[in-house]
Amino acid sequence: MRADAQRNRDRIVEVARALFRSKGFDAVSMDEVAKGAEVGAGTLYRHFPTKESLYDAVLEAWADRVNAAVDRALTLDGPAREQLLSWLSDYAAMLTEHKGAAARITAALGDPGSPFAAKCQTYLGANQRVIEKLDSALRPGVEAMQISRLVGGVAAVVDNSELPADAAASMLAIVADGLLAS
pLDDT tens for each residue of 58-72: 877 667 889 999 999
For 15-83, where are the E strands, in sequence order? Answer: none
pLDDT over 90 at 86, yes or no: yes
pLDDT in tens, 128-180: 999 999 999 999 999 999 999 999 999 999 988 878 877 899 999 999 999 99
Buried b (16+ CB within 10 A) or exposed e, 87-123: bbbbbbebbbbbbbbbbbbbebbeeeebbbbebbebb
What does pTM read for this prediction?
0.74
Domains, the chain, in order of start with CATH, read: 3-58 (1.10.10.60), 62-179 (1.10.357)
Residue 145: the pLDDT is 97
